[in-house]
Structure formats: structure tokens, C-alpha cells
Amino acid sequence: MEPSPFELPADTVQRIASELRCHPADERVALRLDEEDELRHFREHFYIPKMQDLPPIDLSLVNKDENAIYFMGNSLGLQPKMVKTYLEEELDKWAKMGGYGHEVGKRPWITGDETIVGLMNDIVGANEKEIGLMNGLTVNLHLLLLSFFKPTPKRYKILLEAKAFPSDHYAIESQLQLHGLPIEESMRIIKPREGEETLRIEDILEVIDKEGDSIAVILFSGLHFYTGQLFNIPAITKAGQAKGCFVGFDLAHAVGNVELHLHDWGVDFACWCSYKYLNAGAGGLAGAFIHEKHAYTVKPALVGWFGHELSTRFKMDNKLQLIPGVNGFRISNPPILLVCSLHASLEIFRQATMKALRRKSILLTGYLEYMIKHYYSKDKADTRKPIVSIITPSRIEERGCQLTLTFSAPMTYVFQNLEKRGVVVSIPLASLPGLSVACIVGVNFGFCGLFTAACYFTSISQGG
Ligand SMILES: *Cc1c(COP(=O)(O)O)cnc(C)c1O
């Protein structure tokens, strides 16, 4: 029987278990779900680390030739196999023709970023002209804030969520300092309610409603790196703009994870990195979005020659003809080697589509949640049983493919035991107060997620 599009993940798991006449936690359910996974062949497009090559592995506990259980795609995506080919194409061109490579080939270096930007349209939901591929994420955040954050005596605050990613926090702090504004007053941070881990949309909207007149820019993450909470981007955008604020998003953990419609939602600006769910490799080429409604009104504060129209750029007459919109924000010529790795990854997204990826992700994440609840919920009869709690919201609309878990056992113990068995997860560094107890599991990443891997993950500590 075909699953209905409205079937909840837990219901799918139970339906398959009853078809197979086994318990929902039985590995056979996971095997069936992997079999039915329409994206399963996309695993072939990636290098998946082997157990034996992981530094912390204990080879007495695992089969050395097996694939690792990689749940860290939210931190660094795996390598698409075509990266090497595309890099070699450009290295060969460089070797054979030197500077002529600027003009010819599959990716003329001068327009290297532009040759692949169209592959990003569907991932962020924007027109090609609204997207720029340049720099690193935090650099782009700074460049966008320099243009969108124009404080006045009445409207001078930046609104953000609590426990924002440190780089974003520092970027905002330093932008305020640049304008000589007092941090305490100008950096408006929304915290969750007492005893809660995630933010309620009604609380966010209330702050915007009450304080919106003094807020210049709302800068939220699309999906919170620590809690895994997916914010209601259209609702925040609409509420902020109704109060006259600019509304921007850092999509580092949202891009390539959930479906985005930046243009239709009317988001003012956004930026993202490409090495997490977009699998473009460490330090990959980042992205920026400026809505077309601002193309002629919001100008870059800092300008370089790649913001100049291509048709006259090389006249070198020092008369700036600025490209409208985000591409006028490009300062330097594009790093072609970074374009190659991003190209390889974006082609896979184009084939698979975000819609299908999200569909799988909802089921896979729901399956993992089901299994965690099955094995590790509080049990009044057995108080010695380990307990695992999920911080991430359980509503599908409020999360992507990340689950943030807390353990009743000491985290370092859990973490070491996962690592030894080739389960790669990330834990936020202990330097952030209150963050050292959790582990982050990005279960669906770069199309490589497996139901059987989720099943293995939850069964590990069954042995003690
Ligand atoms: C990963 C991440 C960053 C990293 O910034 P870089 O400039 O790419 O080093 C910044 N902000 C958020 C929200 C992130 O998740």
C-alpha cells in the first residue's frame, strides 16, 4: 500500500511493522524503509567514511570495512565523488592554458560563480539575480548588515534569538560597536520561557509587536544550530516588516535541510554557508540573498571590481557601473576551486530535488524519534534505565533533520562510546555554558541517511 502524504512518521512505522508482522522497533522495519527509500541510490554519489579510517574507532567493536554511521552532516557534509573530477578539470585548464582559462571552458573563471548559481534557485527559493555566491558566511553577514542596519536614534536595535551561533553573535555585537551603540540596550535577545528549550512563535511575535518600532533589523537563524528548531520564517518576516524592520535570516542550518521560499516569503536578506548540508567542503563558497524589491535601493557599503557590470568591468576606467542587487555586493573575483566542489554537490540536489529530500527527511527523523522514545523514555518501573530526551520540537513544521538529545548518563561517556563504534555525531563545545550535555544528530544529510543506521544508533546502549 502507498503511504498517504499525510501519514505521520510514527504511523508509517507502525503500518510497516504490521505488514511485516513484527515489532515496530525490529530491524526489519528499518530494512524495509531503506528498500523503499526513493533517494537511496544517491548514496552512491558520495564518499562515505569507513569505520577503519575514523581516528577514535575501536576495531574490536566494529567491522573495519563497513561504512561509518555519519550523523554529522549538519557540521560538515560528505564529499560528492564528482568534486575531484571538477577540480581536475579546472586544474588541467590552468596547467594547459594559464590565464586563457578566465574566458573558456565549462566554468570560465571570471564568471565561475555565475555558471552554477542557477542550481541554487530551488534550494533557497529565489531568482538567480537575488542570489550571490561569494566569501564565507560571516563575511556575507557583515556585508549585508553594513547595508541593512542603518540605526537612527529611534530605531537602533537588532533582534536575535538566544544562544545564536557565536559568529553571528559577534558579528551583531561588532556591527553595533561600529555605530557606537551600547550593546546591552541595542542587542535585543529573545530567550525561551523559564524551563523551556525552544522559542514559541507567539513570544517572538509579541516582542516584535511591542518593540518593533525601535528595532532596525531582525536577524534570526532559519533553523537553530543547537536546538534544531525551525523558525517560522514567513511569520517573522511579515510581522517584522509590518513594524518597518528589515528581516534577515542566517540559513546555515536550514539550507539543503528544509524547503525555503525566500522570494515568495518576501525575506529582505539572507546568507548561508555551503559546507554543512550543502556538502561543498570545509570553508566552501557561501551564499547571500537580497530580495529583488531592494535591487536598486539597497547598495553595498564596500565595493570591489566584481560588483561592476561585466560588460564594462574590464574597461578599467574607474567609473563604477554597479550591478543591481546582491551581485553588486561581490568584491573579489570568484575562487574557482571552491566553485568546483559546490558545483558537484548542487548537481545532486538538482537531480534529487529539495521536495523529495524533505519528504525522506521527515520520515527518517520521525523514525529516529520513534526509536529513541521507544527505547529511552522514562520508565517508572525501571529507574536505572538510561533516559534520552529530545530538545528539538516534535512538530514537523518546527524542525528539519536534526534532533538534539540530552542523556541521563554523562555526555562524554555517551559520546566516547558512540565514537568507538563509528557513530559520528557532533557535540557543541563545552565552552558554551549549559550546552555540554547535548549531542546533535543530523540524521539525514547529503542524501546519505539510512533507516538501518538510525536503528543501529538507538540500539547501541541496549547492551549497557
Ligand atoms: C556554521 C555557522 C557559522 C559559521 O560561520 P563561517 O563564517 O562559515 O565560519 C555561522 N553562523 C551559523 C548560524 C552557523 O551555523
pLDDT tens digits, residue range 301-327? Answer: 999 999 999 999 999 999 999 999 999
Is 166 known to sit in a ligand binding site? yes
Q: Residue 431: what pLDDT?
A: 33
**pLDDT, mean of residues 209-222:** 98
3-state SS class at 106: coil
Which of 8-12, 66-70, 265-269, 455-459 is predicted with the least confidence, judged by mean pLDDT? 455-459
Which of 129-138, 255-264, 389-398, 454-463 is predicted with the least confidence, judged by mean pLDDT? 454-463
Quick one: three-class SS letters along 430-458? CCCCCCCCEEEEECCCCCCCCHHHHHHHH
Q: Are 75 and 165 in contact (CB under 8 A)?
A: no
Read off the C-alpha cell for 116: 552554477
Ligand 1 centroid–CA 53 distance in Å is: 27
**pLDDT, mean of residues 157-182:** 97
Q: Residue 388: what pLDDT?
A: 86
Q: Residue 457: what pLDDT?
A: 77
Closest atom of ligand 1 to 275 CA is: 8
Ligand 1 in reach of 225 Cβ (< 6 A): yes
DSSP 330: -
CB atoms near residue 246 (< 10 Å)? 24
Ligand 1 centroid–CA 172 distance in Å is: 13
Nearest to 286 by CA among 122, 136, 79: 136
Ligand 1 in reach of 165 Cβ (< 6 A): yes
Highest mean pLDDT pick, 34-38, 64-68, 92-96, 161-165: 92-96
Report residue 109: phi and psi, to 5°. -60, -35
Q: What is the CA radius of gyration of the chain?
A: 23
Tell me the β-bridge partners of 442. Answer: 72, 402
Residue closest via CA to ligand 1's atom 13 equals: 165
Q: Residue 5: what pLDDT?
A: 61
Given a cut of 60, is residue 437 above it in pLDDT?
A: no
Q: Residue 170: what pLDDT?
A: 97
DSSP 460: G
Is 138 known to sit in a ligand binding site? yes
Q: Are 298 and 329 in contact (CB under 8 A)?
A: no
Q: Residue 274: what pLDDT?
A: 98
Residue closest via CA to ligand 1's atom 2 equals: 252
Residue closest via CA to ligand 1's atom 1 equals: 252
Given a cut of 50, is residue 122 above it in pLDDT?
A: yes
Closest atom of ligand 1 to 276 CA is: 1
Alpha-carbon distance 334 to 355, whole Å?
Answer: 30
Ligand 1 in reach of 136 Cβ (< 6 A): yes
Closest atom of ligand 1 to 138 CA is: 7
Ligand 1 in reach of 221 Cβ (< 6 A): yes
Ligand 1 pocket test: which of 72, 134, 138 has the largest number of ligand atoms within 8 Å of its C-beta? 138
Ligand 1 centroid–CA 74 distance in Å is: 11
Given a cut of 60, is residue 434 above it in pLDDT?
A: no
Is 275 known to sit in a ligand binding site? yes
3-state SS class at 218: strand
Residue range 254-302, pLDDT digits in tens: 999 999 999 999 999 999 999 999 999 999 999 999 999 999 999 999 9
Q: Are 228 and 398 in contact (CB under 8 A)?
A: no
pLDDT band at 429 (very low <50, low <70, confident <90, very high): very low
**pLDDT, mean of residues 72-94:** 95
Ligand 1 in reach of 220 Cβ (< 6 A): no
Average pLDDT, the chain: 91
**Residue 136 C-beta-side C-alpha neighbours within 13 Å:** 8
Residue range 217-242, pLDDT digits in tens: 999 999 999 999 999 999 999 999 99
Share of the chain above pLDDT 70, in %: 94
Nearest to 273 by CA among 249, 247, 251, 258: 251
Residue range 377-410, pLDDT digits in tens: 887 777 777 788 899 999 999 999 999 888 887 7
Given a cut of 60, is residue 142 above it in pLDDT?
A: yes
Q: Residue 464: what pLDDT?
A: 40
Residue range 5-30, pLDDT digits in tens: 678 999 999 999 999 999 999 999 99
Is 417 known to sit in a ligand binding site? no
Ligand 1 in reach of 273 Cβ (< 6 A): yes
**pLDDT, mean of residues 412-420:** 83
Q: Residue 353: what pLDDT?
A: 94
Which of 1-5, 29-33, 365-369 is predicted with the least confidence, judged by mean pLDDT? 1-5
Please give the model's pTM, rounded to 2 decimal places: 0.94
Given a cut of 60, is residue 435 above it in pLDDT?
A: no
Given a cut of 90, is residue 216 above it in pLDDT?
A: yes
Ligand 1 in reach of 142 Cβ (< 6 A): no
Ligand 1 pocket test: which of 167, 174, 435 has the largest number of ligand atoms within 8 Å of its C-beta? 167
The distance of Cα 324 from the centroid of its chain, to the nearest Å, equals 27
Closest atom of ligand 1 to 221 CA is: 13
Residue closest via CA to ligand 1's atom 8 equals: 137
Q: Residue 60: what pLDDT?
A: 93
The distance of Cα 214 from the centroid of its chain, to the nearest Å, equals 30
Given a cut of 60, is residue 338 above it in pLDDT?
A: yes
pLDDT band at 445 (very low <50, low <70, confident <90, very high): low
Strands (E), 344-458: 388-390, 402-407, 423-424, 438-442
Alpha-carbon distance 176 to 47, whole Å?
Answer: 43
Is 327 known to sit in a ligand binding site? no
Is 456 known to sit in a ligand binding site? no
**pLDDT, mean of residues 186-194:** 97
